Amino acid sequence: MREYKTQTKETIITTTFSTPLGEMFAAASQKGIVILTFFTPFNIEAKIQTLKTTLDSDIVPGNCEFFNTLKIQLQEYFEKKRTTFEIPLQLVGSSFQVKCWKELLNIPYGKTISTKDLAIKMNDVKIEKAIFNACCQNMIEILVPSHRVLINDELKTKIEGIEKKEFLLKLEKND
């Protein structure tokens, strides 16, 4: 008798929850958080499509332990009781994007860096625009702190996100 192997797709669990900046959408794989973004349907659909394609996964609403930890740590962050996050992340993107996002994880709480300085740190001054684009494509907002990256030392971001970026930078500022 012939045996057939069935390959099961990974299941990504999703949820939404409230923050002081509004509703957020989160998704988690078995490895960790893969999406944390402010709730804008178009933005979320594009990110979900990236997950489906890249991870060959099914996306279903639900709850998991990662979400419980995420909600607690975000609440502590917004209350200025937390400056770092201790939750597993799964960065999903091109190799350049992942490399850039890993650099963002090294930017200390309350500090900012320009795209130019980040490009120098990554040993290629020609990638400044690519860094900005990677920040705009960041799928794990707040935890991967693209809000700490400035363009030519100015506060710029995706058009719909400038108020949120200002809020986060002000929150992290040492009083």
* pLDDT on residue 159: 47
Identify whether residues 48 and 74 lie together within a single domain: yes
Question: Does any domain span residue 5?
Answer: no
Bridge-based pairing state of the strands 149-150 and 113-114: parallel
* pLDDT on residue 152: 66
Closest by CA position to 144, among listed 113, 175, 82, 98: 98
Question: Does any domain span residue 2?
Answer: no
C-alpha angle with apex 152: 150 to 153, nearest 5 degrees? 55
* pLDDT on residue 50: 86
Question: Does any domain span residue 3?
Answer: no
* pLDDT on residue 53: 86
Question: Does any domain span residue 166?
Answer: yes
Question: Does any domain span residue 1?
Answer: no
Exposure letters 69-79 (e unless 16+ CB within 10 A, then b): bbbebbeebbe
**CA separation for the pair 122, 127 (Å, rounded):** 9
* pLDDT on residue 56: 86
* pLDDT on residue 109: 96
The domain of 113 spans 93-174
Domain boundary among 31, 65, 92: 92
Domain boundary among 60, 92, 124: 92
Question: Does any domain span residue 125?
Answer: yes
pTM of the predicted model, to two decimals? 0.87
How many domains does the structure of the chain reveal?
A: 2
Question: Does any domain span residue 4?
Answer: no
Question: Does any domain span residue 14?
Answer: yes
Other CB atoms within a 10 A radius of the CB of residue 67 amount to 19
Identify whether residues 87 and 14 lie together within a single domain: yes
- Residue 46: phi and psi, rounded to 5, are -65, -40
User: Domain with 138 in it: what CATH number?
Assistant: 1.10.10.10
User: Domain with 84 in it: what CATH number?
Assistant: 3.30.160.70
Cβ neighbors of 153 (< 8 A, separation 6 or more) are 114
Burial of 60: CB neighbours in 10 Å, binned 0-12, 13-18, 19+:
exposed
If the chain, 175 residues long, is cut into consecutive pieces of 10 residues, what is the mean pLDDT of each piece? 64 94 94 91 82 88 95 96 97 95 96 92 89 91 94 56 87 81
* pLDDT on residue 89: 98
